[in-house]
Structure 1
């Protein structure tokens, strides 16, 4: 028997999964730590983590997953890595970390992104980067350069979180084109590292690690890493990708027009296109997808709603700790539109989809004589869905005509009402799958290591576990009322 291992490095935990190559089944998984990883915030708006904790918890998770699967390291054919996007890890010539990683939810670099956007010019930025430099990895490096020059002077290579973990496993500092695009280091127009951004920011090109294909035998485990993880020295690391492109991969979302969605603490809709386009207001972001090539462009357009599952969990606490199934049952007893009650879910920081504005969460149309707990439960789910639809409408001009949405059966996609509302307002069918980021990374490693002859073969065993088709109803009317409430809030 032969197996693949996928590692998914999040900001809350690290998960590992063991995939049986022959059956495509998950035979063991685990996550660590059991409590959430620590995020340090030395100043308001800062968010940092010690990269060593990713390695330490990956080791625990991999060993526990292998124990659950009852396998040994000699039977593992390849390792894939999924990781939290947009982070910055700086290492010196000895490959030692110079400072804590600045992670995705750190907002210190916003002003640096705006300064770069103004200096380069908005039209050039959007035409070449397809995004504003914003608060992405390159601008976090600009912050280090200006505020910690003594550290910046020692930097040999800058990496994304997954690049760093791969380096710890193999000893090789590497990255991918997809990763560089998520860090805003990539020139989409010329299909190369963005030289004018490096020049404007004063970054040496030598800071960028070797660029390797997303699916390939990138490097092999050192003896030390193999001993730490209970694996075999020489096992290839054969795939790496940011968490959202990897989530799309895990759902076999690879071709133009295909859509993946998640609805955890925050919510994401990620669509694949072959058109190099951008939103003039940069309300959605575009990156190279995992299977992009110059000959067959595949770009991922990403919409993020910060206030998704966190709104659901907050409401649950405010209602006295009802279970989510109980909340769903209360919501299902209320008609579409929640009898005029409208919820705006924007209470988890500035929303890029709203041009980085933070209107906060709110309820509109509350009637003390008509509305009860069920109305609150339904309105919050509708509000989250409608925020998805609001973003989906922004994605259409970028070449995404959405007719089907794929999602893992988890988090808010466990709610039939949530799924039915999303299908109803978008007109798209919902397909649910039993998969996650660590399993996607394992399948990706199988392709990179040559275990699978193609992506089609890698996903031939992926099983659909549910389908929700659009049904007619009063969704359009409720959505238009929701948009009116949003526009009133923003005016």
Structure 2
């Protein structure tokens, strides 16, 4: 039975999936790696940790009962977006990778705005933000000129892993768009942006479609993990694009809600002329020639992780989230804003910080748990509101990630967003999307819609409760005021710490 492997290179771990041609996930494995935060606002990883992690995860997969690597025909990737990997002439990393959630680049973002203004949005369909790759390059250019001068090429995380597996350089369009150096009108690196900021065109890798076969495994890597050297390797794509495909979000009336470390609301964009004037991200898709858009809240699952590790370290996530059922919509008058590491959409504010508003002595821990779940979901309603303001309407939202594990949280999402929420039988999201890229690349299916018909299965649906919808409408109006009321206060607190 022919199979494919999806490699999902995340921020804290890599997960690998073995998927049959029928769409059945046969086995999974994972491996963790560390995250370094050497200074406030910094977020870095050693690229060699990704290589070790991928090898370990594949070895674990190989060792599982009934896993037959001799039947693996193809392999592809989903990767954390925007991270900067600078390679020397010897094709080795010059410094630790600067990740998507690193916020050191506020000055560089301002530099981009001052030099290019609205022209930048016209070229890239996006505004410059701290998380994107271009500001990271400019930071290295300014603060580590020796590394910038020594750099032969830059890659994103999954593309470095793929290079080490195949010996072939390349960057797919979905991740290239997230560098904010891609000219969306020509689908080429923007000569205007490169020349404006003194970035050599030779530093930019070749562009490829996500479904392009970039080669086969090099002998050493294949031997280390037990895969045939003949396995075809496909370029893969950005984790959010892969997550959308893995959730079957391939139509304009579908919305994807993804709750990982960050939170994402995204949708398929059928009209290539669409622009949100930088309010929402507009990126090339892993579906060849297509686009998707998304809004991001930086600390979705991260907010719940923080709460658990700070106040319930010995309790598992399932029971912690379930405890919120003893509270009620509105958490007995308690609001939480999930701005623990700043925010991206709709505020693009690296200095905002989270808040609990309305604390009084009658509330219990369950109220605080529910307020965190509701606050994360209110932030998604902010993103949904941007789409609705542009005239978009949706029939349903498909939820993947941590928020898809809890029936309670799924119902909260239905009530706050006032949408039918769909959960899937296989909650693998980006990893499944990576496997689907390999399946389409191999020619097993004519396109991603045909592949999704086999690979993506609905588990349950959650309809909005009209009473809860009305209650949450009132709380959301209050939630929406918290950013404006606290932005200057939290910025002042950060300044006081310096």
CA contact (8 A) 2:103 2:350 kept: no
2:477 aligned to 455, 476, 480, which one? 480
Counterpart in the other structure of 2:465: 471
CA distance in 2, matches of 1:366, 1:82: 41
2:399 aligned to 397, 407, 411, which one? 407
Counterpart in the other structure of 1:376: 368
Counterpart in the other structure of 1:16: 16
SS state at 1:303 partner:
strand
CA contact (8 A) 2:342 2:351 kept: yes
CA distance in 2, matches of 1:381, 1:55: 34
Counterpart in the other structure of 1:439: 432
Counterpart in the other structure of 2:491: none
- Residues 196 and 238 (structure 1), Cα distance of their counterparts in 2 relative to 1, 3 Å cut: same
Moved more, 67-76 or 47-56: 67-76
SS state at 1:460 partner:
helix
CA distance in 2, matches of 1:109, 1:27: 42
Counterpart in the other structure of 1:210: 206
Moved more, 425-434 or 141-150: 141-150
C-alpha offsets along residues 284-324 of structure 1, whole Å, 9 cap, x if unaligned?
Answer: 3221121141xxxx322222222322333343442575544
SS state at 2:101 partner:
coil
Asked if 1:336 is matched to 2:323, the reply is no
- Residues 463 and 241 (structure 1), Cα distance of their counterparts in 2 relative to 1, 3 Å cut: same
| Deviation for aligned residue 1:398 | 4.7
- Residues 481 and 40 (structure 1), Cα distance of their counterparts in 2 relative to 1, 3 Å cut: closer
Matches within 5 A, 1:211-290: 211-275=207-271, 276-280=273-277, 282-290=278-286
Counterpart in the other structure of 1:159: 155
| Deviation for aligned residue 1:338 | 2.7
| Deviation for aligned residue 1:412 | 2.6
Matches within 5 A, 1:64-213: 64-68=60-64, 70-121=66-117, 123-135=118-130, 136-213=132-209
- Residues 128 and 106 (structure 1), Cα distance of their counterparts in 2 relative to 1, 3 Å cut: same
Unaligned runs of 5+ in 2: 489-498
| Deviation for aligned residue 1:407 | 1.7
TM-score (normalizing by structure 1): 0.91
1:453 aligned to 428, 432, 446, which one? 446
| Deviation for aligned residue 1:181 | 0.4
CA contact (8 A) 1:311 1:347 kept: yes
Counterpart in the other structure of 1:25: 24
SS state at 2:12 partner:
coil
- Residues 428 and 149 (structure 1), Cα distance of their counterparts in 2 relative to 1, 3 Å cut: same
CA distance in 2, matches of 1:42, 1:327: 31
The Cα RMSD (Å) is 2.2
CA contact (8 A) 2:345 2:383 kept: no
1:361 aligned to 336, 354, 366, which one? 354
Moved more, 375-384 or 429-438: 375-384
SS state at 1:446 partner:
helix
CA distance in 2, matches of 1:490, 1:228: 51
CA contact (8 A) 2:62 2:225 kept: no
- Residues 489 and 144 (structure 1), Cα distance of their counterparts in 2 relative to 1, 3 Å cut: closer
C-alpha offsets along residues 325-371 of structure 1, whole Å, 9 cap, x if unaligned?
Answer: 44444432333223332222222334443231543222223332x43
SS state at 1:74 partner:
helix
- Residues 391 and 333 (structure 1), Cα distance of their counterparts in 2 relative to 1, 3 Å cut: same
Moved more, 481-490 or 135-144: 481-490
Moved more, 471-480 or 327-336: 327-336
